[in-house]
Structure 1
């Protein structure tokens, strides 16, 4: 025992003095905590001796607490953080699914409305692949004979004709796209009603329309023109404005608007209304709803002011380019107003030479959009001209299509003819 104490004398002395200090501190503890006794010289000496050791112990305890709080306890926090990250990823995935569903709904909404308006019986299909060999312009959809699909049925979207079903398996169908030379549709120019046959050119960015009579006057590209109908649509889209002036009252009187109606309208003179909605509301307040509805058409015609009135002199003028049309607008209504309302005006002033299905041949229903005329090739000889068409459908972005059930359409056509 003595040998151990001698060998570890420093440690033994430390333990001894630590024990003595604890005893002295205990003995020196005040009876009342709020009334401390003055420390004696021995206690102060022990504090001086033990201060370095206490500082080391305090530092070790503090570092241990820091390690515990900042590292060991953070293991649970890290696990919780990982779980939260997984939940965030799951929520992001679910949000992406909802976003895709919403976008699919927006894409299909117009297509389904088309089917409802035209009373088509259709089957919705998703595009699952395209022909990888480039020998033909085809795609594959996820519907087949198990869904009642047959060969030769039309395939459409709201943008126009896609093609027709070609090879039908149990759960999938190959669709021949209209861009393929082996696919064709009887068509007509919507404006002139000239007929021809549209076929593919192996390119997905163009069709050709043949057998169009050479004397037909077909426009190339896009023109810009303000018509009565486009001005009416612009008036509905909050382009200013309307005002009742003395000239307006005189022109209404010339068009046999009753004097009592004009008398009520005098309360609206010298006021400018920012849009058609506000003007009609003011009319209804002055004349009553029934009278306002009765004379609304002619009053709107002669009460146009501001931008609408300045646009009217451009009516029926044709502009071959967008830039030329914009320059005419800037002259008529000013650069500031042109910049403000250009998008709305272009929406109703742009005119393309549209090509639609004619309904002949019994495959595609009449009135489906095929595309717009981009180029006219007219030779100095021959009976026909050839027209290049820009497709209305972007085949590279197709995700869902509608397959028209021709058997039901044919059956209904037969029953209608039998009734006649």
Structure 2
């Protein structure tokens, strides 16, 4: 059931009319129609599908499955009358800019530094290519980006051509084509010759601009993130807003932001270290006080305490310090945290009681979970009984 692909005849076509050849639901129950002709581009070749409307009904997905172009729509349409289709032009033209920009960028990498592109992803906000390279330098990035933008500014034509397998030898292809028939070439004369089934503008100037944002190593490849066209302005606007906010917050000019941020982070790290050291000293003093107030119980000594909104790491440290300073000590610490009860219990080296066994016996009282070792455990659950009652149950 063949569909005439109007987007190959004119990638700038925004509206069209067609007849319905098929209207069904797929295996998941999603309704779709197949038309005799369409300007909707289906997902493929790294380029996402178009969206738009058919008789004012939203088209949310377009896929080519089993040789037929399926238009997935939110509600059924009248299949007995002519269908009026309209694509989301803003989305389509953005895809055209990004896709043509990828061709230019990949060709620039190949020409300037000899790195071949092995994959391409056109994301909703940022695009990426994977290069067959070990690493990149700032100098290489600058060379390639300058070359790509030169090609854009030269406003070279972007041509498409259908050729046979025998005719391929006439063109200096950047890489081998992946099909043996219905071969479509996208050509930027004297710069890039590449097999591609996507949509592109008719000149490089309509890509407007290209900016590489950052790059990272991906296994044995290098992934380069970039934007083209309107997305360059979007990125510039978003980054300017962030930078302007930081200059106001840190009260320094833009050129001093990095140095000021480094100083602030270093100071914050030093302060955190000091705070942690002071907390440890306070916990040491706190532990001494609890040891002095310990109760005699079952031939040993026990510390019992209830807290509100203390962190579990702090309570764990307190329990460890208590039992380290008094090896015959058991520490039972209960914490109230909103609608939850939390429990930390520890026993010294001279205590021959398995804390984990005891914890498992009391956790059902609060529908709780937890665990640990024979010497120290922690757990938590619902606050369905007073914390003192949970503590006494453990004792």
TM-score bracket for the superposition, by shorter chain length:
under 0.3
Which of structures 1 and 2 has the bigger CA Rg? 1
Instruction: Specify which structure has the bigger relative contact order, considering alpha-carbon pairs within 8 angstroms and separated by 6 or more residues.
Output: 1
Q: Decide which structure has greater strand share.
A: 2
TM-score, normalised relative to structure 2: 0.22
TM-score, normalised relative to structure 1: 0.21
Q: Decide which structure has greater helix share.
A: 1
